[in-house]
Amino acid sequence: MTTSTLTTPQQSLRESAIHHLQALLRLNTMTPPGNEKIAAGYIAGVLRDAGIENVQVLESAPNRANVVARLESAHPTGRPIMLMGHTDVVTVEPEKWARDPFGGELIDGEIWGRGALDMKSQVASELAVFLALKEQGIALNRDVILVAFADEETGGALGADWMWKNHRDLIDAEFAINEGGGSPMTINDQLFYTCQVAEKGSTHLRMTVTGTPGHASVPLDVTAMSKLGEAMNRLHAWQGETTFTEPVRQMLTTIADTLGGDVAARINDILAAESPAWEELVKLPLSAEELLSLRATTRNTAVPTMIRGGQRINVIPGEIQVEIDGRILPGEAPEAFRASVQEAVGAIAEITITSPDTGTAADPASPFFDAINASIGELMPDSVLIPSLSSGGTDAPLIPGVKVYGFYPMPPSERLGVYDTLVHGHNERIHVDDLAFATRFIYDVVVRFAGA
């Protein structure tokens, strides 16, 4: 999509999204410390200037603010839908950036800044759409809620979780659109778009190994350090069983039904197997990156990320702790997961739970999923929407009463492969054409589903 092909309303959406994204990127909302209050204040000010009065800024802690607004239907026939996002971003190393990470610069068609992809771009798109609904006087058959949470990047305790527990009435929608999906993928020349309907739970673990402490000048045969090496090897070798959750099963079934032929036969055989074999899944016509994603979303995983132990260079430590980023499939119990990891490492270490979060899933058999399908189908004819499970985390599990769909689509291009390396990385940026495409989609799906 290029500027010259846009009609006047589309051009307005495009310019609005660009303007607000640049403004949001210029606000330093790194967490820690957060300071999302400046972004919440900006969004609230823009909405109020546009004549939208139902706007609230709610601080869960000093400078940690959430902003929520509502466009009300005169004659609602259904529960609200919600456009959701977060305004906090991860930290940066400015010296490793080619541009100011909080400059919001537009260079050669790309907008630079921390959060350009995760996820101030989607917040800007949703803000632009929300303003357009008001400006154009779109009649609604249900309320439309806009919310920008704080604290998503560090777990959401001061954002979505706090809002759900303290101000549920403000965000209690039937459906929501969120980050996490919208990636195009081509299999055997057929274009598919993934819609995130589920995500794994972040059940974090701690592995503790102990041993006899002593002076490092007198080596011991068995120490916490020697045990740690063996425990880490066992943990690395452990693989959770291949398991098809309903969203992944539906994704594979849709791919089979669409492609037919040998691919369909192979997928159907895999799905019918009593014990699915990963060796059969790797034979599917998927890219290396897509296979990595499929592996992560068909099993529980436990990845060690941090180690603490030792006090002085000349002291053999008596205890070492390893923090493990555990991700479990929807429906899995955190304690059962812990027990399986404990069995894998054996008595050499003790595994405990530090964060027992579970996964979440929304049924793709819904009118809102159908509206997403129809809207992306108009923008990208002949594409097929498939439900997907994310191995990453969003705010979705923190608002359990809302059916959340992750979908922020972009047209296929070589840029998308670059984007994958920029999220949480250096030189984060987004092309204005991709921003405009995603903004247009959000506008279309909201008007299609909530327009009277």
**Tens-digit pLDDT string for the chain (452 aa):** 333 344 457 789 999 999 999 999 999 999 999 999 999 999 999 999 999 999 999 999 999 999 999 999 999 999 999 999 999 999 999 999 999 999 999 999 999 999 999 999 999 999 999 999 999 999 999 999 999 999 999 999 999 999 999 999 999 999 999 999 999 999 999 999 999 999 999 999 999 999 999 999 999 999 999 999 999 999 999 999 999 999 999 999 999 999 999 999 999 999 999 888 888 899 999 998 899 999 999 999 999 999 999 999 999 999 999 999 999 999 999 999 999 999 999 999 999 999 998 888 888 999 999 999 999 999 999 999 999 999 988 999 999 999 999 999 999 999 998 998 999 999 999 999 999 999 999 999 999 999 98
Spell out the alpha helix ranges (H) of 90-221.
Answer: 120-135, 160-166, 168-171
Which DSSP symbol is given to 26?
T
Tokens of 408: 């922020």
Nearest to 413 by CA among 395, 392, 394, 430: 430
Tokens of 89: 């971003």
pTM: 0.91
Reduce the DSSP state of residue 215 to 3 states and report it. Answer: strand
Element (H, E) at 230: helix 224-237
CA distance 121 to 201: 25
CB 350 within 8 A of CB 224: no
Reduce the DSSP state of residue 232 to 3 states and report it. Answer: helix
Tokens of 256: 């089979």
Domains of the chain: residue spans and CATH: 3-180+394-450 (3.40.630.10), 201-356 (3.30.70.360)
Label the pairing between strands 315-316 and 184-187.
unpaired
Element (H, E) at 130: helix 120-135
